[in-house]
Amino acid sequence: MTVTVWKYPKRDEWKVIMARPQMDLISLSRTVSDILESVRCEGDDALRRYEKQFDRVVLDALQVTPAEMEEGIAAVPESLKKAIRQAIDNIRKFHASQAIEVKKVETTPGVWCWQKPVGIEKVGLYVPGGTAPLFSTVLMLAVPARLAGCHEIVMCTPPGKEGKIAPAILYAARETGIDRIFKLGGVQAIGAMAFGTESVPQVYKIFGPGNRYVMAAKQQVSVQGVAIDMPAGPSEVMIVADSGADVRFLAADFLSQAEHGADSQSILLTTDRRIADLFPAEIERQLDRLPRREWVEKSLSHSSVVLLERETDLADFVNAYAPEHLIVHRTDAEEWASAIVNAGSVFLGYYTPESAGDYASGTNHTLPTSGYAKSYSGVNLDSFTRKITFQQISSEGLKNLGPVIEKMAEAERLEAHKEAVTVRLQSIHS
Protein backbone atom coordinates (compact mmCIF):
# COMPACT_ATOMS: atom_id res chain seq x y z
CA MET A 1 0.00 0.00 0.00
CA THR A 2 1.69 3.22 -1.16
CA VAL A 3 0.61 6.47 0.44
CA THR A 4 -0.07 9.34 -1.97
CA VAL A 5 2.68 11.98 -2.16
CA TRP A 6 1.82 15.48 -3.35
CA LYS A 7 4.86 17.51 -4.39
CA TYR A 8 4.54 21.29 -4.38
CA PRO A 9 0.79 21.44 -5.00
CA LYS A 10 -0.67 24.82 -5.93
CA ARG A 11 -3.07 26.44 -3.48
CA ASP A 12 -6.04 25.71 -5.69
CA GLU A 13 -5.19 21.99 -5.28
CA TRP A 14 -5.20 22.11 -1.49
CA LYS A 15 -8.95 21.60 -1.25
CA VAL A 16 -8.64 18.25 -3.04
CA ILE A 17 -5.87 17.10 -0.70
CA MET A 18 -7.84 18.17 2.37
CA ALA A 19 -11.02 16.34 1.39
CA ARG A 20 -12.21 13.99 4.12
CA PRO A 21 -13.41 10.45 3.23
CA GLN A 22 -16.93 10.71 1.84
CA MET A 23 -20.06 8.64 2.30
CA ASP A 24 -23.56 8.80 0.89
CA LEU A 25 -24.80 11.31 3.45
CA ILE A 26 -28.40 11.24 2.23
CA SER A 27 -28.62 7.49 2.64
CA LEU A 28 -26.76 7.65 5.97
CA SER A 29 -29.09 10.32 7.32
CA ARG A 30 -32.17 8.33 6.34
CA THR A 31 -30.83 5.15 7.94
CA VAL A 32 -29.98 6.98 11.16
CA SER A 33 -33.35 8.70 11.26
CA ASP A 34 -35.20 5.39 10.86
CA ILE A 35 -33.27 3.76 13.69
CA LEU A 36 -33.79 6.70 16.02
CA GLU A 37 -37.52 6.76 15.33
CA SER A 38 -37.78 3.03 16.03
CA VAL A 39 -35.99 3.47 19.36
CA ARG A 40 -38.25 6.38 20.26
CA CYS A 41 -41.41 4.42 19.51
CA GLU A 42 -40.48 0.86 20.49
CA GLY A 43 -37.98 1.34 23.30
CA ASP A 44 -36.15 -1.76 24.52
CA ASP A 45 -37.63 -3.98 21.80
CA ALA A 46 -35.96 -1.85 19.14
CA LEU A 47 -32.69 -1.82 21.07
CA ARG A 48 -32.58 -5.61 21.25
CA ARG A 49 -33.45 -5.90 17.57
CA TYR A 50 -30.69 -3.55 16.49
CA GLU A 51 -28.15 -5.16 18.80
CA LYS A 52 -28.91 -8.47 17.13
CA GLN A 53 -28.66 -6.88 13.67
CA PHE A 54 -25.54 -4.75 14.12
CA ASP A 55 -23.58 -6.23 17.03
CA ARG A 56 -24.82 -9.78 16.33
CA VAL A 57 -25.71 -10.54 19.89
CA VAL A 58 -28.99 -11.54 21.57
CA LEU A 59 -29.41 -9.75 24.88
CA ASP A 60 -31.73 -10.72 27.69
CA ALA A 61 -30.77 -7.74 29.84
CA LEU A 62 -29.40 -4.47 28.46
CA GLN A 63 -27.74 -3.27 31.66
CA VAL A 64 -24.48 -4.75 32.93
CA THR A 65 -25.12 -6.64 36.16
CA PRO A 66 -22.98 -6.43 39.33
CA ALA A 67 -21.86 -10.02 38.70
CA GLU A 68 -20.73 -9.11 35.16
CA MET A 69 -18.86 -6.11 36.56
CA GLU A 70 -16.97 -8.24 39.06
CA GLU A 71 -16.20 -10.93 36.50
CA GLY A 72 -14.85 -8.40 34.02
CA ILE A 73 -12.79 -6.49 36.56
CA ALA A 74 -11.18 -9.71 37.79
CA ALA A 75 -9.95 -10.39 34.26
CA VAL A 76 -7.97 -7.15 34.02
CA PRO A 77 -4.21 -7.62 34.65
CA GLU A 78 -2.85 -5.70 37.62
CA SER A 79 -0.33 -3.93 35.38
CA LEU A 80 -3.16 -2.49 33.27
CA LYS A 81 -5.13 -1.51 36.36
CA LYS A 82 -2.10 0.41 37.60
CA ALA A 83 -1.74 2.18 34.25
CA ILE A 84 -5.42 3.14 34.23
CA ARG A 85 -5.20 4.55 37.75
CA GLN A 86 -2.18 6.68 36.78
CA ALA A 87 -4.01 7.98 33.71
CA ILE A 88 -7.04 8.85 35.87
CA ASP A 89 -4.82 10.83 38.25
CA ASN A 90 -3.33 12.86 35.38
CA ILE A 91 -6.68 13.48 33.70
CA ARG A 92 -8.19 14.54 37.02
CA LYS A 93 -5.34 16.98 37.74
CA PHE A 94 -5.59 18.66 34.35
CA HIS A 95 -9.37 18.94 34.32
CA ALA A 96 -9.59 20.06 37.95
CA SER A 97 -7.32 22.98 37.02
CA GLN A 98 -10.06 24.21 34.67
CA ALA A 99 -12.51 24.96 37.48
CA ILE A 100 -13.76 28.56 37.45
CA GLU A 101 -13.71 30.61 40.63
CA VAL A 102 -17.03 32.25 41.43
CA LYS A 103 -16.32 35.97 41.37
CA LYS A 104 -18.78 38.74 42.20
CA VAL A 105 -18.40 41.90 40.14
CA GLU A 106 -19.80 45.29 41.16
CA THR A 107 -20.68 46.73 37.73
CA THR A 108 -22.17 49.93 39.22
CA PRO A 109 -22.11 50.92 42.90
CA GLY A 110 -24.73 48.75 44.58
CA VAL A 111 -25.15 46.40 41.56
CA TRP A 112 -23.54 42.98 41.92
CA CYS A 113 -23.34 40.30 39.19
CA TRP A 114 -21.78 36.84 39.18
CA GLN A 115 -22.06 33.44 37.56
CA LYS A 116 -21.94 29.98 39.09
CA PRO A 117 -21.05 26.76 37.22
CA VAL A 118 -23.47 23.91 37.91
CA GLY A 119 -23.01 20.34 36.73
CA ILE A 120 -25.48 19.05 34.15
CA GLU A 121 -27.73 16.73 36.14
CA LYS A 122 -28.04 13.86 33.65
CA VAL A 123 -25.38 13.01 31.07
CA GLY A 124 -24.85 10.09 28.71
CA LEU A 125 -21.42 8.79 27.74
CA TYR A 126 -20.88 6.86 24.51
CA VAL A 127 -17.78 4.65 24.49
CA PRO A 128 -16.83 3.01 21.17
CA GLY A 129 -16.05 -0.66 21.43
CA GLY A 130 -16.56 -2.15 17.99
CA THR A 131 -13.19 -2.65 16.30
CA ALA A 132 -11.32 -1.74 19.52
CA PRO A 133 -12.56 -1.43 23.13
CA LEU A 134 -11.71 2.21 23.88
CA PHE A 135 -11.61 2.11 27.68
CA SER A 136 -9.57 5.32 27.56
CA THR A 137 -12.72 7.15 26.45
CA VAL A 138 -14.36 6.16 29.75
CA LEU A 139 -11.64 8.09 31.56
CA MET A 140 -11.86 11.12 29.27
CA LEU A 141 -15.60 11.49 29.81
CA ALA A 142 -16.30 10.15 33.29
CA VAL A 143 -13.50 11.98 35.13
CA PRO A 144 -14.62 15.52 34.14
CA ALA A 145 -18.27 14.52 34.54
CA ARG A 146 -17.62 13.59 38.17
CA LEU A 147 -15.52 16.69 38.77
CA ALA A 148 -18.31 18.87 37.36
CA GLY A 149 -20.82 17.36 39.78
CA CYS A 150 -23.12 15.59 37.30
CA HIS A 151 -25.61 13.62 39.41
CA GLU A 152 -26.63 10.88 36.98
CA ILE A 153 -24.10 9.43 34.53
CA VAL A 154 -25.18 6.75 32.08
CA MET A 155 -22.76 4.90 29.82
CA CYS A 156 -23.42 2.93 26.65
CA THR A 157 -20.86 0.75 24.89
CA PRO A 158 -21.29 -2.09 22.36
CA PRO A 159 -20.91 -5.67 23.60
CA GLY A 160 -18.75 -8.35 22.03
CA LYS A 161 -20.17 -11.41 20.31
CA GLU A 162 -20.65 -13.15 23.66
CA GLY A 163 -22.78 -10.30 24.92
CA LYS A 164 -20.12 -9.01 27.32
CA ILE A 165 -18.36 -5.68 27.72
CA ALA A 166 -14.57 -5.55 27.47
CA PRO A 167 -13.09 -6.04 30.98
CA ALA A 168 -10.90 -2.91 30.77
CA ILE A 169 -13.98 -0.77 30.03
CA LEU A 170 -15.71 -2.17 33.12
CA TYR A 171 -12.66 -1.52 35.30
CA ALA A 172 -12.31 2.03 33.98
CA ALA A 173 -16.00 2.60 34.69
CA ARG A 174 -15.70 1.40 38.27
CA GLU A 175 -12.60 3.49 38.94
CA THR A 176 -14.35 6.62 37.69
CA GLY A 177 -17.59 5.98 39.55
CA ILE A 178 -19.85 4.82 36.71
CA ASP A 179 -22.21 2.02 37.69
CA ARG A 180 -25.02 2.26 35.11
CA ILE A 181 -23.59 0.66 31.97
CA PHE A 182 -25.65 -0.53 29.03
CA LYS A 183 -24.69 -2.99 26.30
CA LEU A 184 -25.56 -0.76 23.41
CA GLY A 185 -23.61 0.53 20.43
CA GLY A 186 -24.08 2.77 17.44
CA VAL A 187 -27.16 4.79 16.59
CA GLN A 188 -29.41 2.77 18.89
CA ALA A 189 -27.27 3.74 21.90
CA ILE A 190 -27.55 7.43 21.06
CA GLY A 191 -31.31 7.08 20.61
CA ALA A 192 -31.69 5.26 23.91
CA MET A 193 -29.94 8.01 25.87
CA ALA A 194 -31.68 10.79 23.94
CA PHE A 195 -35.26 9.54 24.29
CA GLY A 196 -35.11 7.09 27.19
CA THR A 197 -36.53 3.55 27.13
CA GLU A 198 -37.85 1.09 29.69
CA SER A 199 -34.27 0.29 30.71
CA VAL A 200 -32.19 3.30 29.71
CA PRO A 201 -32.84 6.67 31.36
CA GLN A 202 -33.10 9.81 29.26
CA VAL A 203 -30.23 12.28 29.64
CA TYR A 204 -29.79 15.99 28.99
CA LYS A 205 -26.48 15.87 27.11
CA ILE A 206 -24.61 13.13 25.21
CA PHE A 207 -20.83 12.84 24.98
CA GLY A 208 -18.41 10.64 23.12
CA PRO A 209 -16.75 9.92 19.78
CA GLY A 210 -17.90 7.43 17.17
CA ASN A 211 -18.15 6.62 13.49
CA ARG A 212 -20.18 8.57 10.92
CA TYR A 213 -23.41 6.91 12.00
CA VAL A 214 -22.87 7.85 15.64
CA MET A 215 -21.96 11.41 14.65
CA ALA A 216 -25.07 11.70 12.47
CA ALA A 217 -27.24 10.32 15.29
CA LYS A 218 -25.86 12.85 17.75
CA GLN A 219 -26.49 15.69 15.33
CA GLN A 220 -30.06 14.54 14.70
CA VAL A 221 -30.99 14.24 18.39
CA SER A 222 -29.36 17.61 19.08
CA VAL A 223 -32.23 19.31 17.25
CA GLN A 224 -34.76 17.28 19.24
CA GLY A 225 -34.03 18.67 22.68
CA VAL A 226 -30.85 16.82 23.69
CA ALA A 227 -27.50 18.61 23.76
CA ILE A 228 -24.28 17.03 22.46
CA ASP A 229 -20.63 17.72 23.12
CA MET A 230 -19.64 18.29 19.47
CA PRO A 231 -19.72 16.65 16.05
CA ALA A 232 -17.02 13.99 16.58
CA GLY A 233 -16.65 11.52 13.74
CA PRO A 234 -13.80 9.55 12.15
CA SER A 235 -10.42 10.33 13.68
CA GLU A 236 -7.70 12.33 11.92
CA VAL A 237 -4.17 13.62 12.40
CA MET A 238 -2.00 16.20 10.67
CA ILE A 239 1.76 16.06 11.18
CA VAL A 240 4.16 18.93 10.47
CA ALA A 241 7.84 17.97 10.13
CA ASP A 242 11.07 19.89 9.68
CA SER A 243 14.38 18.51 8.38
CA GLY A 244 15.39 17.30 11.86
CA ALA A 245 12.39 15.02 12.27
CA ASP A 246 12.92 11.27 12.64
CA VAL A 247 11.08 9.47 9.84
CA ARG A 248 10.46 6.51 12.15
CA PHE A 249 8.60 8.78 14.58
CA LEU A 250 6.62 10.35 11.75
CA ALA A 251 5.50 7.01 10.33
CA ALA A 252 4.55 5.69 13.77
CA ASP A 253 2.38 8.77 14.44
CA PHE A 254 0.85 8.55 10.96
CA LEU A 255 -0.08 4.88 11.39
CA SER A 256 -1.29 5.24 14.98
CA GLN A 257 -4.14 7.41 13.75
CA ALA A 258 -4.79 5.32 10.65
CA GLU A 259 -5.47 2.22 12.77
CA HIS A 260 -8.54 3.82 14.37
CA GLY A 261 -10.68 2.78 11.40
CA ALA A 262 -11.07 2.57 7.65
CA ASP A 263 -12.39 6.13 7.45
CA SER A 264 -9.60 7.72 9.52
CA GLN A 265 -7.20 10.12 7.81
CA SER A 266 -3.53 11.06 8.26
CA ILE A 267 -1.68 13.87 6.48
CA LEU A 268 2.04 14.69 6.73
CA LEU A 269 3.18 18.22 5.83
CA THR A 270 6.82 19.13 5.23
CA THR A 271 9.02 21.44 3.20
CA ASP A 272 11.89 18.93 3.35
CA ARG A 273 12.15 16.77 0.22
CA ARG A 274 14.27 14.13 1.96
CA ILE A 275 11.49 13.53 4.51
CA ALA A 276 8.88 13.24 1.75
CA ASP A 277 11.04 10.79 -0.24
CA LEU A 278 11.90 8.52 2.71
CA PHE A 279 8.46 8.47 4.31
CA PRO A 280 6.52 6.02 2.05
CA ALA A 281 9.13 3.28 2.47
CA GLU A 282 9.10 3.70 6.26
CA ILE A 283 5.31 3.44 6.25
CA GLU A 284 5.56 0.12 4.37
CA ARG A 285 8.17 -1.19 6.81
CA GLN A 286 6.12 -0.40 9.89
CA LEU A 287 2.83 -1.44 8.30
CA ASP A 288 4.05 -5.04 8.05
CA ARG A 289 4.16 -5.27 11.85
CA LEU A 290 0.61 -4.08 12.52
CA PRO A 291 -2.15 -6.59 13.36
CA ARG A 292 -4.87 -4.18 12.14
CA ARG A 293 -3.29 -3.90 8.71
CA GLU A 294 -6.58 -4.28 6.84
CA TRP A 295 -8.07 -1.23 8.61
CA VAL A 296 -4.89 0.77 8.23
CA GLU A 297 -4.61 0.15 4.49
CA LYS A 298 -8.12 1.43 3.93
CA SER A 299 -7.29 4.54 5.91
CA LEU A 300 -4.07 5.07 3.97
CA SER A 301 -6.04 5.12 0.72
CA HIS A 302 -7.27 8.60 1.62
CA SER A 303 -4.17 9.75 3.53
CA SER A 304 -1.25 11.62 2.03
CA VAL A 305 2.16 13.26 2.27
CA VAL A 306 2.27 16.89 1.16
CA LEU A 307 5.57 18.51 0.21
CA LEU A 308 5.11 22.28 0.33
CA GLU A 309 7.40 24.88 -1.14
CA ARG A 310 7.37 27.61 1.51
CA GLU A 311 7.49 27.50 5.32
CA THR A 312 4.66 30.03 5.47
CA ASP A 313 2.43 27.56 3.62
CA LEU A 314 2.54 25.06 6.49
CA ALA A 315 0.48 27.03 9.02
CA ASP A 316 -1.91 28.18 6.30
CA PHE A 317 -2.53 24.56 5.31
CA VAL A 318 -3.05 23.46 8.91
CA ASN A 319 -5.50 26.27 9.69
CA ALA A 320 -7.48 25.60 6.53
CA TYR A 321 -7.79 21.87 7.34
CA ALA A 322 -8.43 22.35 11.11
CA PRO A 323 -7.20 18.92 12.25
CA GLU A 324 -8.51 17.01 15.21
CA HIS A 325 -4.90 16.25 16.20
CA LEU A 326 -1.85 18.24 15.17
CA ILE A 327 1.65 16.88 15.85
CA VAL A 328 4.50 19.36 15.38
CA HIS A 329 7.84 17.62 14.75
CA ARG A 330 9.99 20.75 14.78
CA THR A 331 12.85 22.14 16.86
CA ASP A 332 10.88 25.39 17.21
CA ALA A 333 7.58 23.58 17.83
CA GLU A 334 6.07 25.87 20.47
CA GLU A 335 7.04 29.07 18.70
CA TRP A 336 5.86 27.77 15.33
CA ALA A 337 2.52 26.59 16.75
CA SER A 338 1.68 30.10 17.94
CA ALA A 339 0.37 30.69 14.40
CA ILE A 340 -2.14 27.82 14.69
CA VAL A 341 -5.71 28.91 15.39
CA ASN A 342 -7.67 25.88 14.13
CA ALA A 343 -6.88 22.54 15.80
CA GLY A 344 -8.45 20.27 18.38
CA SER A 345 -5.31 19.28 20.30
CA VAL A 346 -1.66 20.09 19.56
CA PHE A 347 1.37 17.91 20.37
CA LEU A 348 4.67 19.79 20.42
CA GLY A 349 8.15 18.45 19.75
CA TYR A 350 9.80 15.23 18.63
CA TYR A 351 8.96 13.32 21.82
CA THR A 352 5.26 14.11 22.17
CA PRO A 353 3.26 11.39 20.41
CA GLU A 354 -0.48 11.82 19.92
CA SER A 355 -0.86 8.57 21.88
CA ALA A 356 0.03 10.50 25.05
CA GLY A 357 -3.11 12.61 24.72
CA ASP A 358 -5.17 9.56 23.79
CA TYR A 359 -4.34 7.87 27.07
CA ALA A 360 -2.52 9.41 29.94
CA SER A 361 -0.92 12.87 29.69
CA GLY A 362 -4.05 14.49 31.16
CA THR A 363 -5.62 16.31 28.21
CA ASN A 364 -8.89 15.11 26.73
CA HIS A 365 -9.02 13.01 23.58
CA THR A 366 -12.66 13.69 22.69
CA LEU A 367 -12.10 16.32 20.02
CA PRO A 368 -13.83 17.98 17.05
CA THR A 369 -13.19 16.34 13.65
CA SER A 370 -14.09 17.02 10.03
CA GLY A 371 -13.01 20.65 10.23
CA TYR A 372 -15.20 21.44 13.24
CA ALA A 373 -12.09 22.52 15.15
CA LYS A 374 -12.71 25.90 13.49
CA SER A 375 -15.71 26.41 15.76
CA TYR A 376 -15.71 23.76 18.54
CA SER A 377 -13.44 22.99 21.50
CA GLY A 378 -12.59 19.52 22.68
CA VAL A 379 -14.32 18.10 25.75
CA ASN A 380 -13.28 19.83 28.98
CA LEU A 381 -14.68 20.51 32.42
CA ASP A 382 -16.90 23.28 31.04
CA SER A 383 -18.54 20.76 28.71
CA PHE A 384 -20.25 19.14 31.70
CA THR A 385 -21.50 22.34 33.30
CA ARG A 386 -23.90 25.16 32.60
CA LYS A 387 -23.40 28.57 34.09
CA ILE A 388 -26.19 30.33 35.94
CA THR A 389 -25.92 34.10 36.28
CA PHE A 390 -26.94 35.91 39.44
CA GLN A 391 -27.42 39.57 40.25
CA GLN A 392 -28.40 41.53 43.32
CA ILE A 393 -29.17 45.25 43.51
CA SER A 394 -29.38 47.33 46.66
CA SER A 395 -31.69 50.33 47.00
CA GLU A 396 -28.70 52.58 46.38
CA GLY A 397 -27.78 50.48 43.37
CA LEU A 398 -31.24 50.91 41.90
CA LYS A 399 -31.00 54.67 42.42
CA ASN A 400 -27.79 54.62 40.38
CA LEU A 401 -28.89 52.24 37.61
CA GLY A 402 -32.67 52.71 37.57
CA PRO A 403 -32.77 55.82 35.37
CA VAL A 404 -30.63 54.06 32.77
CA ILE A 405 -33.05 51.12 32.66
CA GLU A 406 -36.06 53.41 32.48
CA LYS A 407 -34.62 55.35 29.58
CA MET A 408 -33.77 52.20 27.60
CA ALA A 409 -37.13 50.56 28.26
CA GLU A 410 -38.95 53.70 27.20
CA ALA A 411 -36.94 53.82 23.96
CA GLU A 412 -37.97 50.22 23.20
CA ARG A 413 -41.60 51.06 24.06
CA LEU A 414 -41.73 48.42 26.77
CA GLU A 415 -43.65 50.36 29.41
CA ALA A 416 -44.07 47.43 31.82
CA HIS A 417 -40.29 47.00 31.91
CA LYS A 418 -39.93 50.66 32.78
CA GLU A 419 -42.67 50.47 35.41
CA ALA A 420 -40.91 47.57 37.20
CA VAL A 421 -38.10 50.03 37.93
CA THR A 422 -40.21 53.15 38.45
CA VAL A 423 -42.43 51.60 41.13
CA ARG A 424 -39.34 50.60 43.12
CA LEU A 425 -37.72 54.02 42.80
CA GLN A 426 -40.93 55.68 44.01
CA SER A 427 -40.96 53.36 47.01
CA ILE A 428 -37.36 54.26 47.81
CA HIS A 429 -37.97 58.00 47.56
CA SER A 430 -41.27 57.99 49.49
- Among 313, 215, 307, which Cα is nearest to 267's? 307
The reply, when asked if residue 412 is annotated as ligand binding, is: yes
Whole-angstrom Cα distance, residue 178 to residue 344?
A: 27
- Among 239, 82, 99, 250, which Cα is nearest to 171's? 82
Whole-angstrom Cα distance, residue 259 to residue 264?
A: 8
Residue 3: helix, strand or coil by DSSP? coil
The reply, when asked if residue 95 is annotated as ligand binding, is: no
The reply to whether 325 belongs to the active site is yes
Quick one: 316 exposed, middle or buried, by C-beta within 10 A (0-12, 13-18, 19+)? middle
The reply, when asked if residue 394 is annotated as ligand binding, is: no
Any idea of the CA torsion for 22, 252, 315, 359, to the nearest 10 degrees?
80
- Identified catalytic residue from 325, 329, 354, 365: 325
- Decide if 269 contacts 306 (C-beta within 8 A): yes
Instruction: Detail the DSSP E strand segments found in 205-341.
Output: 205-207, 227-228, 236-241, 265-270, 304-307, 325-329
The reply, when asked if residue 358 is annotated as ligand binding, is: yes
The reply, when asked if residue 188 is annotated as ligand binding, is: yes
- Identified catalytic residue from 236, 324, 329, 354: 324
- Decide if 343 contacts 322 (C-beta within 8 A): yes
Q: DSSP letters along 136-153, please?
A: HHHHHHHHHHHHHT-SEE
The reply, when asked if residue 329 is annotated as ligand binding, is: no
The reply to whether 324 belongs to the active site is yes
Whole-angstrom Cα distance, residue 158 to residue 126?
A: 9
The reply, when asked if residue 257 is annotated as ligand binding, is: yes
The reply, when asked if residue 260 is annotated as ligand binding, is: yes
The reply, when asked if residue 286 is annotated as ligand binding, is: no
Which CA distances in Å does 144 have to 150, 164, 222, 345, 383? 9, 26, 21, 17, 9
The reply, when asked if residue 211 is annotated as ligand binding, is: yes
Binding residues for Zn(2+): 257, 260, 358, 417
Binding residues: 126, 188, 211, 235, 257, 260, 325, 358, 412, 417
> What amino acid positions are annotated as catalytic residues?
324-325
Binding residues for substrate: 235, 257, 260, 325, 358, 412, 417
